[in-house]
Structure 1
Amino acid sequence: MHEETGLTYHRCRWCGTASFRRLLCPVCASSDLESEHSAGPGVVVRSGVVHRYTEAARNESLVRFPEGFVFRCRVVGAAPDRVAVGARVRPAVVEGPDTGEVVFELCDPPGHDDWY
């Protein structure tokens, strides 16, 4: 569902609510959803380091997009503890077999002048 320059999501034709990977609108329960494209970037609103199901720690974040939907994802390309709330992220192209997982990378990686 992701493309090199953005993310495809759904918008309810009844109430206008944006959502990601839903069969029904989370607000009005309508199934009349239209696909739209977000060029991003998103902003991290929650970030955590998890150790479940793997020996290596990984990041798990909630990202809010300008269109109004929130998406739970992994941020790759930086140490899991370096992903801060307020960081801008964009969809990342992952090498290897397509698992269907949508991952993101920091727009301004750690060490960049704008990093806080």
Structure 2
Amino acid sequence: MVTDKDGYMHLIQYLTEHLGLFETPGTQSMVEDTVMELFEAQLSAQIIMICGQNPSLTFAERNTIIREVDAIVYDLEEILANVANQKATPAQTLFVTEFSGLIKNLFDHEIAKRQLSA
């Protein structure tokens, strides 16, 4: 649905371009969540929003979205392996929120395309 699209590859590239934000320990106070916990929570919230905004999605389409998010989390774990369990800084939290919103935009775009072609 989205992980095989150019937009997703661009987002992964965007993440890798900003890895320095995650690799350099922040001097700011840390939040309670780890980097991966933040990604998981943000992506979960976005998926709930997608499903709520698109009540016409079938069970199969919702399952596809969940499988895609699982693949995205796996990719994030691979990319952020060295920092995934570190407490996040406020700057990292802001980036994670933005990145998760961009992932949601990819899903929104694909869902809209599917609905137009149906």
Query: Where on the TM-score scale, by shorter chain, does this alignment land: which range?
Result: under 0.3
- The structure with the greater share of residues assigned to helix is 2
- If asked which structure has higher relative contact order (CA below 8 Å, sep 6+), I would say 2
- The structure with the greater share of residues assigned to strand is 1
The two structures have a TM-score, normalised by structure 2, of 0.22
